[in-house]
C-alpha cells in the first residue's frame, strides 16, 4: 500500500484527484468540525469552495432543514448560521440538518475531491476510525493536508503531524507494510517530534495562535482530543455523511 501526503490542497484540481483514495485533514478546524457535526446528527455536510457557491446552493434548498456554516479568517461569514467552531455544532443546532459548508481550505479540499474513488475526513478526534478504515481498504491513499486559513496552500504543522500519526499507527498498530513517499516520511518524522503533546503543538501552531487571539482557545482542546468522536465522515455523491448504520449506532451509543 502506497501512502502519499500532500502538504497543501493547492497543487490539485478536481480531475487530478479523480479515482484516488483520499483522506482530507484539516485539524484546525474543518475536519474536526465536520466530524463533530455528523456525530451530533447532522444529515450531511455539503462542502463548497466559495461563498458564492454556498449562497447559490442554499437558495435552492429548503430553509428549515438547511444551514450555512463556515468561516473566513476563522470567523463566521456574514449571513451564515454557524461559524467553524466544533462547539457550535451541537445536537440541538444540527440534528437532521443539511449544512452547506464553506471554509478557507478544508471545504475546498473536500469539494475538490468530489470525483475521488473514496474520500474520508480525518483528524485527531476520529484517528483510530480512519486508521482502521485505511487498513481495511488496503489500497493506496493520498493524505491531503488542507493547510492554513490565511492563504490556500500554506503548510500547516498540525495537519502534517496528524498525517504522520495516521502513518505511524498503520505501521505500528495495524502491521501494514507501507510504501512511503518522501513527504509521508517527513510527516511521520514530524509526528515523532511533536506528537507527545498534541494540545501544546496546536497552541503553538500559527493557526492555533490566531484562533486563541480571536477567542476560540476552547476549540483547541476539542481538536486535540484523540478518538473522542469515533465516526467516519465520507463522501457520498456530493455530500459528506456517515453511513446509515454508523449514524444509528453512534446515536444509540450516545443514548439518543
For CA atoms 221, 226, 228, 234, the dihedral sign is positive
Asked whether the beta carbons of 43 and 94 are under 8 A apart, the reply is no
Q: How far is the CB of 154 from ligand MLT (least distance, A)?
A: 10
> Toward ligand MLT, which CB reaches closer, 119 or 170?
119
| Nearest residue to ligand MLT, by Cβ distance, number only | 103
> Toward ligand MLT, which CB reaches closer, 72 or 174?
72
> Toward ligand MLT, which CB reaches closer, 106 or 122?
106
> Toward ligand MLT, which CB reaches closer, 76 or 251?
76
Q: Which residues bind ligand MLT (CB under 6 A)?
A: 26, 28-30, 71, 74, 84, 103-106, 146, 149
CA angle centred on 221, ends 89 and 23, rounded to 5°:
70
Q: How far is the CB of 36 from ligand MLT (least distance, A)?
A: 12
CA distance 82 to 39: 17
Q: How far is the CB of 30 from ligand MLT (least distance, A)?
A: 4
Q: How far is the CB of 170 from ligand MLT (least distance, A)?
A: 25
Amino acid at each position: 500500500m502506497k501512502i502519499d501526503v500532500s502538504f497543501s490542497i493547492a497543487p490539485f484540481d478536481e480531475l487530478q484527484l479523480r479515482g484516488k483514495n483520499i483522506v482530507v485533514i484539516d485539524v484546525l478546524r474543518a475536519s474536526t468540525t465536520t466530524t463533530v457535526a455528523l456525530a451530533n446528527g447532522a444529515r450531511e455536510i455539503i462542502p463548497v469552495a466559495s461563498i458564492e457557491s454556498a449562497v447559490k446552493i442554499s437558495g435552492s434548498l429548503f430553509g428549515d432543514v438547511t444551514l450555512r456554516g463556515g468561516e473566513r479568517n476563522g470567523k463566521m461569514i456574514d449571513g451564515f448560521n454557524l461559524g467553524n467552531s466544533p462547539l457550535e455544532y451541537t445536537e440541538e443546532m444540527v440534528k437532521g440538518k443539511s449544512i452547506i459548508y464553506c471554509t478557507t481550505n478544508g471545504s475546498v479540499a473536500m469539494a475538490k475531491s468530489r470525483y475521488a474513488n473514496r474520500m474520508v475526513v480525518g483528524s485527531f478526534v476520529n484517528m483510530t476510525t480512519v486508521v482502521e478504515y485505511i487498513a481495511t481498504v488496503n489500497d493506496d491513499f493520498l493524505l491531503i493536508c488542507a493547510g492554513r486559513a490565511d492563504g490556500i496552500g500554506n503548510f500547516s504543522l498540525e495537519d502534517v503531524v496528524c498525517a504522520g500519526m495516521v502513518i505511524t499507527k498503520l505501521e505500528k498498530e495495524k502491521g501494514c507494510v507501507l510504501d512511503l513517499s518522501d513527504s509521508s516520511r517527513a510527516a511521520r518524522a514530524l509526528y515523532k517530534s511533536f506528537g507527545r503533546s498534541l494540545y501544546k503543538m496546536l497552541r503553538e501552531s500559527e493557526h492555533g495562535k490566531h484562533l486563541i487571539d480571536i477567542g476560540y482557545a476552547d476549540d483547541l482542546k476539542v481538536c486535540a482530543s484523540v478518538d473522542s468522536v469515533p465516526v467516519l465522515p465520507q463522501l457520498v455523491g456530493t455530500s459528506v455523511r456517515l453511513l446509515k448504520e454508523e449514524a444509528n449506532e453512534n446515536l444509540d451509543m450516545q443514548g439518543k
